[in-house]
Amino acid sequence: MATHQKPLHQLDAWQAAEALARRDIQSVDLVRACLDRIDQRDAEVHAFVRLNADAALALARTLDAGPVRGLLHGLPFGVKDLLDTADLPTAYGSPIYAGQQPLADAAAVALCREAGAVLLGKTVSTELANMTSGITRNPHNLQHSPGGSSSGSAAAVADCMLPLALGTQTAGSLIRPAAFCGIVGYKPSHNRVSRAGVKSLSETLDTIGGFGRSVRDVGLLGAVLTGDKRLADPQNFDSSAIAAPRIALCATPDWSLADEDSQQAWKLADKALAGYVQQVALPAELHGLVARQKAVQAFETARSLRHEHRHHAQQLSAPLLALLEEGMCIDGETHAHNLQAVAHQRHVAAELFRNHDVLLAPSTVGEAPAGLATTGDPLFCRGWTLLGLPCIHLPFTRGRKGLPVGLQLVGRFADDHRLLAAAHWVHERLTR
């Protein structure tokens, strides 16, 4: 079936991009289809804080009348409300910044627009991209969390309101909502994407990435954000041209905390990839990653949000206040020691890829938790974020409550294009 025979709002980003480049479909029709879907669903899902409908339609008409601008020509996209936008307010998920209008786009937003993407709206972020839940609900079951802190972006892509959306990760804020919402989430290698114009929490950890409904989708987005065209190379997504990757099954030292759903996904993956995988344990020097990530995040976030803590404490949630107070209790000498240890641990982690191309690891403890009191535990993401490694969540099964479950693939630092190629190869086998 030709891609244009599929409902427009259901097209994967790469399918829509190819159809737009061929002029088989028009951007204005794709934007309208996404806006119609938002009109039908967002009153329940609450993925957006602000829409840009009129400006998006006007830009789409201009794009349809002119030359193809770039990899994302004519594609609607959403932006987490942690990234500045010159034409829409940016509140960072906090009442402190309600109505704030930036003067310029964040670098990641500007790059997407330059590549021809059409900004459809700002998506919900949890409070200052921390753990306190926002209003967004899981589109698969409105009584469950979509994860956080990139909750609105993940929910919008999962519910076919958008083909692509930007998010950020400091602990597990790309991989976890992708897992809970059953889509592909991509966290690039640390520092591959400029963080200019993004509310800072942790210089050591903050990473900009995004969401799509296929590996090829996030490859397009990744190529634009990093400037590395290899991430969108069609050969990366031609399984007949890709050599089978050497895959290490890495349960991590926290495997005992994974519930029955994640363990079942693990068994399914082991079976589907039989002959291509080898069980690997993390070396002892990497067993303290989770605790160290928590300490680094607390220290740096407490200082990044020092103004908010000093002058607007009454507008901060109790959990965030507790984190900030915890972070201020960590002294600079301890933090310096932690950063030295991280540098060593990143060197140790590089050795994991001497005999393997990628690591397959848990993404979450299990399915999305019920209710909106929590965004879920980022336990299985913290260590990889601390190490700065590129990660991609691959959805492929369902848990006991019928909600999405999957696993994440982790790549060698700055080897994002090979990670995406391996992820496509692996995902095809997991979803057969």
Please identify every residue annotated as catalytic. 80, 149, 173
Of the candidates 357, 379, 349, which has an alpha carbon nearest to the alpha carbon of residue 283?
349
Beta bridge partners of 392: 186, 409
Q: Comparing C-alpha atoms, which of 252, 213, 261 is closest to residue 397?
A: 261
Token code pair at residue 223: 């190529």
The owner of tokens 């609607």 is 76
Q: How far apart are CA 381 and CA 369, in angstroms?
A: 17
Q: How far is CA 6 from the centre of its chain?
A: 26
Measure CA 344 to chain center: 26
**How many angstroms separate the Cα of 339 from the Cα of each of 58, 296, 334, 349?**
48, 8, 9, 15
Residue 338: alpha-carbon gap to chain centroid? 26
- Token look-up 């067993």 returns 287
Taking alpha carbons only, the member of 275, 276, 206 closest to residue 246 is 276
Rounded to whole angstroms, the Cα distance separating 46 from 155 reads 9
Instruction: Mark out the alpha helices in 159-257 (DSSP H runs).
Output: 175-181, 215-226
Cα of first residue to Cα of last residue in the chain, in angstroms, is 19
